[in-house]
Amino acid sequence: MAARSVPMRRCVACRTSRPKAELLRVVRTPSGAIEIDATGCAAGRGAYVCKRPECVDLVGRKDVMRRALGQSLPQQASAQMRDAISGEPGAGSG
């Protein structure tokens, strides 16, 4: 039996590929709202960000979500991203 491959995704901020489980997914829902997807499988257009403060800050400064999702990241979603990474064990390492 062959080993399962690990799904890889690219961070929209630093452009490095990492396993999907190590990234935070931001999704634009079919209704147009931007949310943090804790499950990793919500319906809509998704973009991935490393669980590092540097990448989350870069997303806010450079407006990379406009390119990835077609609209800017609202302040509320940006704050939710910071809260999500601060709650992660070992979020600063990586």
Q: Where are the domains of the chain?
A: 8-86
- Rounded Cα distance between 8 and 85, Å, is 19
- What is the arithmetic mean of pLDDT over 57-82? 90
What's the confidence (pLDDT) of residue 90?
A: 46
What residues contact residue 18 under an 8 Å CB cut-off, 6+ apart?
8, 9, 10, 11, 50
Tell the CATH superfamily of the 8-86 domain: YlxR-like (3.30.1230.10)
pLDDT at site 11: 97
Q: How does residue 84 score in pLDDT terms, banded at 50, 70 and 90?
A: confident
Contact 19, 50 (CB under 8 A): no
Stated pTM of the model: 0.84
